[in-house]
């Protein structure tokens, strides 16, 4: 498969998978499980599954000190991102939180432009504007009620942390499989959550007491964690940080679809237009990465060379 096409497919599936986070989290919250516990089981189960997979594949667990430092940094920022997002669900509607989280592609683009001199293309700007406009349509508060300031701050922290995670993955020089990288990231995520559980009331790790609780915890470990993180790493390596981040527009789209299909929410005209704007933004960024003007110019030059060579031979 073409590398860019593979990256695009992985980016799309990773975004959709990550967008299923609220589905498992909200069920566990209803059962009285706190955010620290939800994330502890999510990351722990995912790490165990990946560890078993590495054993089956006979993948070495060995890492260098430099790699361990980068992995620890990745685990810390991803742990902070997840913890702040899941905590925000206590102050904001999960759909609104998921939509606000999408500012991270803007953060990625700005950070890459300022610190790494990456050029922000016109297609990228248009994609971001369309996606953000679509999300504004999806989650604009019709009653004019003010959102929780603490909830918004928590989502912004989550967005910035996730943006840093994507950039670090993109800029790191580590040569290891996505499975191995994700395994160690999850281990450090678990460590971050455990440390957090010792501070503040209501953050202690709770036991899961029913099969359904374990089922939803396993779902969180598999879909928005293992599937999403592994495919996101693959996407970043094939198409870069900014395009992968912009495809994250499919995350709030997934949340909307879950609301409609699972919880019976009404799909209004405004919501439908918002969804179309998000999809258009994603399509534009995919097209801009797949079909570049330089490719057309190169093809024209190739044709010219062949024609001139043939002409000179005839002469």
pLDDT tens digits, residue range 211-250?
999 999 999 999 998 898 889 888 888 888 778 877 877 8
Q: What percent of the chain has pLDDT over 90?
A: 35
Q: What value does the mean pLDDT take over residues 192-218?
A: 91
Band of residue 300 on the pLDDT scale cut at 50, 70, 90? very low
Please give the full DSSP string across the chain, using - where no structure is assigned: --HHHHHHHHHHHHHHHHTTHHHHHHHHHHTT--HHHHHHHHHHHHHHHHHHHHHHTT------HHHHHHHHHHHHHHHHHHHHHHHHTTTS-HHHHHHHHTTHHHHHHHHHHHHH-----HHHHHHHHHHHHHHHHHH--TT-PPPPHHHHHHHHHHHHHHHHHHHHHHH------HHHHHHHHHHHHHHHHHHHHTSSTT-SPPPP-SHHHHHHHHHHHIIIIIIHHHHHHHHHHHH-HHHHHHGGGHHHHHHHHHHHHTT-----HHHHHHHHHHHHHHHHHHHHHHS-HHHHHHHHHHHHHHHHHHHHHH-
pLDDT at res. 95: 74
pLDDT at 314 exceeding the cut of 70: no
Q: What value does the mean pLDDT take over residues 197-202?
A: 82
Domain residue limits, the chain: 3-314
* Phi, psi dihedrals of residue 90, rounded to the nearest 5°: -80, -15
pLDDT at res. 199: 84
pLDDT at 312 exceeding the cut of 60: no
Question: Which of these ranges, 22-31, 205-214, 234-243, 278-287, has the smallest mean pLDDT?
Answer: 278-287
Q: Are 52 and 232 in contact (CB under 8 A)?
A: no
Q: Is the pTM of this model over 0.85?
A: no
Q: What value does the mean pLDDT take over residues 81-94?
A: 88
């Amino acid at each position: 498969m073409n590398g860019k096409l593979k990256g695009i497919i992985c980016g799309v599936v990773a975004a959709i998978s990550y967008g299923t986070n609220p589905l498992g989290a909200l069920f566990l919250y209803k059962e009285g499980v706190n955010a620290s516990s939800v994330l502890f089981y999510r990351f722990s189960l995912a790490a165990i599954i990946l560890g078993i997979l590495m054993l089956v594949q006979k993948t070495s667990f060995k890492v260098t000190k430099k790699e361990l430092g980068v992995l620890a940094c990745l685990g810390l920022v991803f742990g902070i991102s997840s913890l702040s997002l899941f905590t925000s669900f206590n102050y904001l509607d999960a759909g609104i939180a998921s939509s606000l989280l999408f500012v991270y592609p803007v953060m990625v683009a700005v950070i890459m432009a300022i610190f790494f001199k990456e050029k922000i293309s016109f297609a990228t700007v248009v994609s971001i504007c369309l996606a953000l406009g679509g999300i504004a349509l999806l989650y604009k508060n019709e009653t004019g009620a003010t959102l929780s300031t603490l909830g918004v701050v928590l989502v912004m922290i989550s967005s910035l942390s996730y943006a840093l995670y994507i950039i670090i993955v993109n800029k790191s020089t580590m040569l290891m499989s996505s499975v191995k990288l994700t395994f160690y990231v999850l281990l450090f995520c678990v460590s971050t959550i455990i440390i957090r559980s010792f501070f503040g009331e209501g953050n202690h790790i709770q036991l899961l007491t029913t099969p359904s609780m374990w089922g939803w915890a396993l779902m969180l470990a598999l879909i928005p964690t293992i599937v999403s993180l592994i495919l996101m790493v693959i996407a970043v390596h094939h198409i870069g940080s900014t395009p992968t981040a912009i495809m994250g527009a499919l995350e709030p789209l997934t949340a909307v679809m879950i609301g409609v299909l699972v919880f019976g929410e009404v799909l209004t005209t405004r919501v439908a237009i918002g969804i179309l704007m998000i999809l258009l933004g994603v399509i534009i960024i995919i097209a801009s990465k797949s079909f570049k003007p330089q490719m057309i110019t190169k093809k024209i030059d190739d044709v010219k060379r062949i024609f001139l060579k043939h002409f000179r031979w005839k002469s």
